[in-house]
Homo-oligomer: A and B are copies of this chain.
Amino acid sequence: MARLRRLALGLLILTTGAIAARAQDPLPSWNEGAARTAIVDFVKATTTTGSPQFVPPEDRIATFDQDGTLWVEHPIYSQLVYCLDRVPVVVKERPELANVEPFKTVMSGNREAIAHLSEDDLIKIAMTTLTGMPVDDFRAEVKKWLATARNERWKRPYTDMTYLPMQEVLRYLRANGYKTYIVTGGGQDFVRAYAEATYGIPPEQVIGTSAGTKYGYGKDGKPVLTKEPKLILDNNNAGKAEGIYLMIGRRPHAAFGNSTGDQQMLEYTKGGGGARLAMIVLHDDATREYAYGPAAGLPDTKVGTFTSALYAEAKKDWVVISMKNDWKKIFAFEGP
């Protein structure tokens, strides 16, 4: 009987603990406001049994753009820094590239000239630095780079540059049965190398721009997959909706983005029946992060274009997240 009582008491303690945890604020870094309310209302509406907008657990899919939505993208995408950092290594392996553009410019170290490389040049650099190696080597290289590379402004690892309020949204959705996906214009293999440790998102839930691989055998006779310079999925704009269909096969119930590259993903999400949440991050905090986006009367930049057309659609049908007003804290490393 004493054992039974201990068992029951233990159970009660466990239950009470769970209730206490549930009562804790799931979004402590968010200020009160329309954005926060939209998230909480959406989760309640779609996960409360008996709610007219209840979504069965297997259909709870939420998709997140990465650059500018989950972590800093300004003034340059982290993956592009990786590619530029890799150029000297590739040139050492293939010295003939040293006198060929755009590699010559990158090797010159002339930052102004590098900043003005064309999109075609950047694609050339990406293809050369991101393909041609076994997939395991690539993943190891990215991890090695992340361990030492630092964001120029904050002098911190790139994986520290994630937005704490968005990390809270990821955890809050997962705690309510949502499968969280990254749907990025960035390289799928690149993001997969750190997504599990950084966001709690496993590789199979990272959808990104993908090159093909080629199956073959190593010297030991074991199978090797080698990254090929052959684009399979351009996961930007319409490609995001197409990529979601290819990789998930269901329409998300919630989607988060910050630029024209996310427009179709957000539209596609809202195009479904029942409760659907589409949110867009506005970078309007020049002090704590950056302020850009012509729609909001802010300067235009090379990354994260937030056009007037996008802003008009956002105001009609989506919820805008103002970094300045909606976020108490932007990074986990900030003081309390």
Contacts and interface: CB of A to CB of B under 8 A. Distances in A.
Interface of A: 4-5, 7-9, 11-12, 58, 135, 179, 188-189, 192, 196, 202-204, 206, 210, 212-215, 222-223, 225, 232-233, 238, 241-242, 245-250, 264, 267-268, 271
A214 B192 contact: no
A245 B222 contact: no
A3 to B, nearest CB: 9
Nearest to A246: B210
Contact of A247 (B7, B238, B247): B247
Contacts of A214: 238, 242
Interface SS majority for chain A:
helix
A204 B249 contact: yes
Nearest to A237: B215
Contacts of A7: 8, 11-12
A204 B203 CA distance: 13
5 contacts: A7-B12, A179-B204, A204-B204, A213-B246, A223-B271
Contacts of A135: 245
Contacts of A196: 58
B192 A215 contact: no
A203 B248 contact: yes
B8 A264 contact: no
Contacts of A222: 271
A196 to B, nearest CB: 7
A223 B264 CA distance: 8
A28 to B, nearest CB: 27
A233 B215 CA distance: 14
A242 B223 contact: no
A206 B250 CA distance: 12
A249 B213 CA distance: 12
Contacts of A9: 4
A225 B247 CA distance: 14
User: Which residue among A196, A203, A223, A271 has the maximum number of chain B CB atoms within 10 Å of its CB?
Assistant: A223
